[in-house]
Every structure is written in C-alpha cells, then in structure tokens.
Amino acid sequence: MDLTVNAMWFSIALVFIIAAVSKIAIERIMLDPVYKPRPPVVNSVSLIRLVLTKGLRAMICDQHRKLGSVFSVSFFGLHKVTFLVGPEVSGHFYQGLESEISHGNTLEFLVPIFGKEVGFGVDITTRTEQMRFYNEALKPSRLRSNVDPMLKEVEVSTNLQSEYRHDYIPSIILTPLSGLLLQDYLAKWGQHGVVDLKHEFEQLIMLIASRCLLGTEVRENMFGEVHTLFRELYNGMGLTSVLFPYALTLANRRRDKARVNLSEIFTKIFRSRKRAKQVESDVLQNLIDAKYKNGRSTTEAEVVALIIMLLFGGNHTSSLTSTWTGACLLRHQRSLTAVVEEQKQIIRKYGERIDYNILLEMDTLHNCIKDALRMHPVEPMGIRKVHKNFIVKTKEGTEYEIPRGHTIVSPVLYNHNLPYIYKDPYVYDPDRFSPGREEDRVGGKFSYTAFGGGRHTCVGEAYAYMQIKVIWSYLLRNFELKLVSPFPETDWSKLVPEPKREVMVSYKRVAA
C-alpha cells in the first residue's frame, strides 16, 4: 500500500518537474530573441549501412532531403559533426574568424611532412604572414614570366626526338626514376602512340614546378632525385600516417627520411644562392627574399618548409585536374570541338604565340577546366572545428545555432551538384559558366568552392589555371587525341580522390 502511495507522489512530482522545465524552456524560446534551436540530429549508427553500401554522398543526399540543409550526425553522443549544405549556410565556414572557426587539429598529420616551421606547425599570425609570401610570389604580375618556361616543358615533354613510341610503356619499368631516364621518357611522345594521361601529367607538372617554383638548380641537375623524394614524402599520407602521424611505422620513417633529404637539397641551394649573391626569378627566390612585418627574414628551415608545402598544395591538385579535364573533354565531343575551335581562332589572331594575356582569352578552355573541377573536386569536403557558437540561416529562413565543439563539414562535391544552382548538375556542361548563365555566380558566393573560399582560399588558383591551360592549349593545337580507356571512375580510397586506374589516351601529331 505504502509503495503505491509513494509511486503516486513520485509520479505527480515528476509531472510537475517536467512541466516546470518545459515552461522555462518555452519561455526562454519565446522571450529570448537570440535563442536558436540546434540543428536536427541523426545517430551515426543508423547511417553506417547507407554510407557503407551507397557512399557518403548518398548519405548526405538522404539526410538533406529528410532534415534540410543543416543537420548534425552524433557519434555515440560523444561528438557531433554538422553538415552545412549549400552556399546559403556556408558563409561562416569560409569567412569566420580563425579564433571562432579553424582547421583545428584536423591537418596535424601535415606537420611532419611540411615541417613545424609553417602551416599548422605555427601560430595563426605567422601562418597569415606566410600566406602573404605565397600571394606575393604567385601574383599575376610575377606569373607572366612563367608562361614561356611552362610552354618549354610541355614542348620538350611531347616533342619528337629520335624514337617513335607506339605503345604505352608501363611506368613501373621506368621507376625508380633517375633524372635522365625520366627526361628521356618524357621527350618521346613522337608522332603517335598511347599514353596514360594521369602518369604523363604527374611528371609534366613536376617538371614545370621544378622550373618555375624550385628553379634552375633542381630542374637542370637534380630533378629525378627531388621527384623521387617528393613522391616518398607524398606516400607518407596513407591512412595510418594520417591517424598516427608520429607513430614509428615504416611509412612514417620513409616519409621522415625523404623530408630530411629534401631539406638538405633545398638548404644547399639556399646557402649557395646567398653565398654567390645569386638572384633567380623563381618562387624559391621570392621565399628566400621574403620578410615578416617586423623586418625578420625567412630562415633556411622556413624556406624549405614553405617550398615543400607549396609543392604539396600545387602539384597533385594540378595534375589531377589536368587529367579530369582531359577525360571530360575527350568524352564530350561538343566541348572538344569548342575548345579546338577556340584555339584556331586564337591562332588566327595571334599566330602560334602563347603568353599570359593570350591565356586569359581562352575562356572556353577555362570553363572546361572549371566544370571538370566542379564534378571532380580535389577536396570533396572541407572540414573545420567550431570554437565559438554561431548561427546559420537556411534559404527557407530557419535559423540554427551551431555550438562550440562541433566539427563542421562543407560537402563541396555535393554542393557542386545542387540542382537549384546547377542545371543538370551531373552533365558536363562548361557553358554553364558562360556570360548569360554564370550559374556559380547566380547561386551565391560559395556555390563554387573547388579552390576553397574566404580566409583559406587557394593561393595558387591563377598559377594552376595558367599551367593547365598551357598544357591543354599545346596538346589541342598539336595532337588529335582519343580516350581509349573507359571514362575513369573515382578512387575514393585516396586522401585526394583521383581517377581509378590509368586514363589511356591515343594521340596523333597533326601536321603543322
């Protein structure tokens, strides 16, 4: 009997407590104009099957449809990851102050690769100044002089030498690459043959980088060595190294050794230039000459780290984009005809010459690269950590508060395919960026984020377009090309997704 009475009183008390708490909560919502609800939450366990069977994109699509453009995924109640879908809710992600939103420790694994003197190894003030050095070194007025050396590399790499190459030579036969072998290899495109674009562009971009970024010493005397070391450093970005960057694994030890050897090479160049008071026109020189606001010059170790970071940011991204552009163009006859026609028109106007201003006139080619990158972004997802609560407003007008501690994700790949921004988003259609359509502009500032945006926007965008245009304008002018392997699928197992397997292209040199 006593038990029943107690249970009754307990139930009544509970009802009162719940009512009181709800009243306070409702009053807070009604009275506090600043109060905003948190985004809807979905449990990660319920999503695992979908992610494993259909992939991350399908999961985002599914939740976007069910929950709207802002939703959180809870990992066992311990950590929440909030997805921000679409340009309307992406402003703070890209523009928020570093003290409020930053990469946090998400890129910690890059510190042993780049060095503790740059990027995520230094405080934000130093990093901002270092980004200024890059911006200075890569500004259009400096880039102009790089067109000729770039073109020279493409010509040398594809020009007929003594032999014809009819068949594709698997790269494995040619690696490890000694400098001479590599240059011989690249000099033998000949009259016709078949190549793997992915492989060719990786080499070509490295050659261009060694000439324009690193300078004569590397390009002329130690290209092969630097290329091999750089590859070893790049291979240190496997899953284990990303998760445990300081573990004593074989991959990490190889990575560290390659870093030490690269550092020795660049340090020698740094010292020899200083000793001989030699001044070159490459980006390395700009970094050697750079000065912090307080007048301090960059140190040897900083220059080494800065140049490694630049190679990392620029090489793989550019070679993959060149490859995707090729695959898209050679798959879509309409676009291919349009870019070839554009080259003919430009030749009629300027002759065979290509310079910085002429490259700027290649709008059709520009849009072809841009749409390839829209469909195949090298960074399919941007990630940041929230240090201070902030509010987002969806395009329907709903406001949510994203609290401190959340990880936030901008799903670039998904955003690039939103049908209310891009017409027929899964169709390769470079004209979508032409005057009159300009779908990325109409959609708002962060509709197109293949190069990031806001505070961490890519400093190498102009350089990247320039080198990809140099390569493709040269190829389109001099070769008939055909994609002979199937259109590549994406290999999502890589940290930077890339075309799966080789991208085989047959070529025939056209008569001058």
**Number of residues located near ligand HEM, criterion CB under 6 A:** 21
- Residues contributing to the annotated binding site for heme: 458
**Can you tell me the distance from the alpha carbon of 314 to that of 263, in angstroms, rounded to the nearest whole number?**
18
**Can you tell me the distance from the alpha carbon of 171 to that of 502, in angstroms, rounded to the nearest whole number?**
11
Partners of 83 in the β-ladder: 71, 409
Tell me which of 60, 458, 470, 471 binds ligand HEM, using CB under 6 A.
458
Question: H or E stretch including 196?
Answer: strand 192-196
Q: With binding defined as CB under 6 A, does residue 459 bind ligand HEM?
A: yes
Tell me which of 139, 254, 387, 456 binds ligand HEM, using CB under 6 A.
456
**Can you tell me the distance from the alpha carbon of 157 to that of 311, in angstroms, rounded to the nearest whole number?**
20
Cβ-based nearer residue to ligand HEM, 21 or 124: 124
User: Can you give the three-state secondary structure of 446-466, one letter per residue?
Assistant: CCCCECECHHHCCCCHHHHHH
Q: With binding defined as CB under 6 A, does residue 319 bind ligand HEM?
A: no
Cβ-based nearer residue to ligand HEM, 229 or 309: 309
* Shortest-Cβ-distance residue relative to ligand HEM: 460
13-21, 233-241, 291-299, 449-457 -> range binding ligand HEM (CB under 6 A): 449-457
Q: With binding defined as CB under 6 A, does residue 403 bind ligand HEM?
A: no
Partners of 291 in the β-ladder: 297
Q: With binding defined as CB under 6 A, does residue 496 bind ligand HEM?
A: no
Among positive and negative, which fits the CA dihedral 117, 286, 202, 432? Answer: positive
Q: With binding defined as CB under 6 A, does residue 452 bind ligand HEM?
A: yes
**Is 28 buried (19+), middle (13-18) or exposed (0-12) by CB count in 10 A?**
exposed
Q: With binding defined as CB under 6 A, does residue 321 bind ligand HEM?
A: yes
Q: With binding defined as CB under 6 A, does residue 90 bind ligand HEM?
A: no
Find the shortest distance in angstroms from Cβ 138 to ligand HEM. Answer: 6
Tell me which of 228, 263, 317, 447 binds ligand HEM, using CB under 6 A.
317
Q: What are phi and psi of 177, to 5 degrees?
A: -90, 120
Cβ-based nearer residue to ligand HEM, 456 or 494: 456
**Can you tell me the distance from the alpha carbon of 488 to that of 500, in angstroms, rounded to the nearest whole number?**
6
Provide the 3-class DSSP secondary structure of residue 169.
coil
Q: Which of 502, 480, 505, 485 is nearest to 191 (CA)?
A: 480
Tell me which of 287, 378, 413, 504 binds ligand HEM, using CB under 6 A.
378
Partners of 490 in the β-ladder: 499
Number of H helices, E strands in the chain: 23, 13
Q: With binding defined as CB under 6 A, does residue 463 bind ligand HEM?
A: yes
Q: With binding defined as CB under 6 A, does residue 372 bind ligand HEM?
A: no
Find the shortest distance in angstroms from Cβ 508 to ligand HEM. Answer: 28
Binding site for ligand HEM (CB under 6 A): 131, 134, 310, 313-314, 317-318, 321, 373, 378-379, 382, 450-452, 456, 458-460, 463-464
